[in-house]
Structure 1
Amino acid sequence: MPAASAIKVMVVDDQTSMRAMIRRTLQDIGFRDIRDKASAVEAFDSVRQDRVHLIISDYNMPDMDGLQFLQAVRGDAVIGKTVFIMLTGSSEKAVVQRAAELGVNNYVVKPFAPAALKEKIERVFGELN
């Protein structure tokens, strides 16, 4: 049973309000080491230099979308095994399917309840304490 406070998280979303909401939700669950970036390009460089255990990324972003970001992470020898949870406002079957093919660990449709995000994280890490 891992302690949420020991898990390093990177939140990636181009919307400031969404990053803040996710950060608050994670803090309420018990996470303490939370970083965030407004773009997948910035996040990719950041997590390569300072690794995290969990990436929570939006799908719909300019420059590099969540699927491209996931593909870049999975293709990288250093960070390829990092747990990746995709957030999206769409439950479009093609996007969900492509994310699964690329190796996403879990998927959350926005808007979501804090309990839903916690449950998705626990499916990957086990029950948090």
Structure 2
Amino acid sequence: MVVDDQGSMRAMIRHALQDLGFRDIRDKAEAAEALEAVRTDRVHLILSDYNMPGMDGLEFLRAVRADPVIGKTAFIMLTGAADRTVVQEAATLGVNNYVVKPFAPAALKEKIERVFGELT
């Protein structure tokens, strides 16, 4: 599940994931909508932007981790800047990894492999 309020960023991430071999890729523009979707149709990985209107990425991560059903879902945070406080809070909340935007597809692959192991 790719969650980002910018359609162009969702499309770029979707394309990068397809190039890495992912086939069932869903996306949402809002974290609240994504949370409901993940609760009803589980996913293995959430890639979420931090800076979004409404529910931001940290609030989304907090809600995912608090849910007994989806709480263990792998979660990678996308941030527009290497803001140390955001990264530290995300780590405290149990984020699996983070990626600073803009990023190359190779960087995304590396972060995903750190969570799941080598992609084939």
Q: Which residue of 1 aligns with 2:99?
A: 108
Q: Of residues 20, 29, 39 in structure 2, which corresponds to 1:38?
A: 29
Q: Which runs of 5+ in 1 are unaligned?
A: 1-9
Q: Which residue of 2 aligns with 1:29?
A: 20
> 1:31 and 1:54 mapped to 2: Cα distance?
11
SS in 1 for 2:82: coil
TM-score by length of 2: 0.99
> 2:53 and 2:76 mapped to 1: Cα distance?
18
User: Residue deviations 1:28-49, cap 9 Å, x none?
Assistant: 0110000000000000000000
Q: Which runs of 5+ in 2 are unaligned?
A: none
> 1:16 and 1:27 mapped to 2: Cα distance?
16
**Total equivalences in the alignment:** 120
Identical residues among aligned pairs (%)? 79
> 2:78 and 2:84 mapped to 1: Cα distance?
14
> 2:115 and 2:76 mapped to 1: Cα distance?
9
The Cα RMSD (Å) is 0.3
Asked if 1:77 is matched to 2:80, the reply is: no
Q: Which fold has the larger relative contact order, with Cα–Cα distance below 8 Å and residues 6 or more apart in sequence? A: 1
Q: Which residue of 2 aligns with 1:55?
A: 46
Moved over 3 A (4+): none
User: Residue deviations 1:6-39, cap 9 Å, x none?
Assistant: xxxx000000000000000000011000000000
SS in 2 for 1:56: strand
Deviation at 1:90, TM superposition (A): 1.2
Mapping 1:112-127, distance limit 5 Å: 112-127=103-118
SS in 2 for 1:34: coil
> 1:48 and 1:90 mapped to 2: Cα distance?
29
